[in-house]
Amino acid sequence: MKGALWTGRVISALIVLFMLFDSGAKIVRFTPYVEGTVKAGFADSLVVPLGILGLFCTILYAIPQTSILGAILLTAYYGGATATHVRLGQPFYFPVVFGILVWVAMYLREPRLRELAPLRR
C-alpha cells in the first residue's frame, strides 16, 4: 500500500496548494477574485471571510490529526461552490472533481478510513 499512500499524499498536496493560492488570493483581495465573487452574486465584503474559511478548512485537511474533519469541511466548501455554479448556469465540474479528489486522497492516505469503508473485490 506504499504506492497508494504516496498517491494520496500527492493528490492531497495538489489540493492544499490550490486552496492555499485560492484562499490567499481572496484574503489579499486579488482583483479577479473580488470581481468573480461579486459577479457570482456575493457581496464584496464576503471575499475575505470566504478566503479565511477556505484557508481554515485547508489547514485542517493538511494536518494529519485533523485531516478527516478538514476533508468534511472542504467537501462542504466545494458543495457551496458547486451550488453557486449551478445557480449561475455555469459548468460545475471543477468543484465536484475537487470534492471527489479530497476523499480519494483521504482513502489512499488513511488506513483507518479503508477499514471503515473497504472496497470489495
- What is the residue extent of each domain of the chain? 2-114
pLDDT surpassing 80 at residue 84? yes
Closest CA to 70 of 118, 103, 24: 103
Residue 111 banded pLDDT, cuts 50, 70, 90: confident
Q: What is the mean pLDDT of the chain?
A: 94
- Give burial (CB, 10 Å; 0-12/13-18/19+) of 93: exposed
Tens digit of each residue's pLDDT (9 = 90 or more) over 6-29: 999 999 999 999 999 999 999 999
Q: What's the pTM?
A: 0.91
- Per-residue model confidence (pLDDT) at position 118: 82
% residues pLDDT > 70 (the chain): 98
Residue 115 banded pLDDT, cuts 50, 70, 90: confident
Please, where are the H alpha helices in 1-121? 2-27, 31-39, 47-62, 67-88, 93-109, 111-116
- Per-residue model confidence (pLDDT) at position 88: 94
